Amino acid sequence: MKRRNLKNLMMLLMLIAAVSMVAAGCGNNNAANNAGNNAAGAGAGNAADNTGGTPEPSGAPAEAATLSLGLLPSIDAIPFIIAHEQGFDTAHNVNLDIQTFKSAKDRDVAFQAGKLDGISADLVAISIYNEAGLDVKITSTTTGEFDLLTGNDEVQEVKDLKGKTVILSKNTSTQYTVAMMLKQAGLTEDDITVTEVPQIPTRLELLKNKKADAAILPEPFVTMGVTSGLRVLSSTVSAGVNPFVLAFPQSAIDAKAQAIRDMYAAYDEAVEYMKSHDQTEYIDLIIEEVGYPETLKDEITVPEYLPANQVDVKEVEAAFAWAREKGLLTKTISAEEVISDVQFKE
């Protein structure tokens, strides 16, 4: 049993490393150092919030709880970052200790070491975490996006990819997303030839140089690709697929339930802020945190963020079914078992 758990944990690190939202090896050491430097602060926050943010018996306001979040530099992180930058978190009696990692691998190392309360993740990763014996729960969806791009004039729709080459990262949410897009077009994964390239910038360069017919990419590489002449065939938004979630281990949920609820109040306030303020007022923050080139400032379209909401059970079931087909999930785990009601109740 110990050997199997070790094997599962090794699989976790290997597979999750492939879903990094930015170039592999680009600043990984800085991210890991950042996680280490913040460990003491995160630990202090854990100790300060054992009551989950419950007011002191004297009636005095409780000290703001610290909630450490491990995020990747992607668009689903923006509302959390704005919530902290604008002080919406402390206004709701929670201090968001946001730690941005350059790779999913570095994030997961910090997470498994107990240095993070919650992380931005995806449904395939959730299946892998729980397969490895980590009791990780989904507390909400987040607003992320993958786009399927092409530079081949023969490919005008997803169905035209039959017999063509698609670049992605195997056994990750990118492969799952492509599988769902193909299914909607009446195709299967067997109808395409997969070229595995975990490094996002390399995918873009190969596609631009016509070394493949299509590639699945996140922002800011989608905007970079479109401005260079590539076309979007489909996206998680247009395909109605949303594998992006925020997750916490059950131990953190038990210890910091009120802090998590306060975090979501701050998140919703950040969403309202973006709706009521011109994009120019916060676009520099997005460029800095997501990694858009400054030259694309006028090309960036900020998503229409929604207030925080819980994941759709059917989304989880579909992702878990795919994970089982790929052998990533062998345990009998239902969608309900990995969804927390800390914020959203039936």
**DSSP β-ladder status, 118-122 and 65-71:** parallel
Prediction pTM value: 0.80
CA distances from 321 to 9, 78, 112, 127 (A): 20, 30, 25, 10
Q: Are 121 and 299 in contact (CB under 8 A)?
A: no
Helices 78-85, 257-276: inter-axial angle, 10-degree rounding: 90
Q: Tell me the CA end-to-end span of the chain in Å, nearest whole number.
A: 36
The reported pLDDT for the residue numbered 257 is: 96
Closest CA to 112 of 26, 34, 28, 10: 10
The reported pLDDT for the residue numbered 346 is: 54
Strands (E), the chain: 65-71, 94-100, 118-122, 136-141, 146-150, 165-168, 193-196, 214-218, 231-235, 244-249
The reported pLDDT for the residue numbered 22 is: 36
The reported pLDDT for the residue numbered 11 is: 53
The reported pLDDT for the residue numbered 101 is: 86
Rounded to an integer, what distance in angstroms lies between the CA atom of residue 111 and that of residue 90?
Answer: 23
The reported pLDDT for the residue numbered 104 is: 81
Residue 24: HSE in the Cβ half-sphere, 13 Å Cα cutoff: 13
**DSSP β-ladder status, 146-150 and 231-235:** antiparallel
- Residue position matching structure tokens 């460029």: 287
Q: What is the pLDDT along the chain (346 residues), one digit of tens a residue?
A: 444 444 454 555 454 444 443 333 333 334 334 433 333 333 333 433 434 444 444 444 568 899 999 998 889 999 999 999 999 999 999 999 999 887 788 888 899 899 999 999 999 999 999 999 999 999 999 999 999 999 999 999 999 999 999 999 999 999 999 999 999 999 999 999 999 998 889 999 999 999 999 999 998 999 999 999 999 999 999 999 999 999 999 999 999 999 999 999 999 999 999 999 999 999 999 888 888 888 888 888 888 999 999 999 999 999 999 999 999 999 999 999 999 999 997 5
- Residue position matching structure tokens 């996140």: 218
The reported pLDDT for the residue numbered 61 is: 55
The reported pLDDT for the residue numbered 198 is: 86
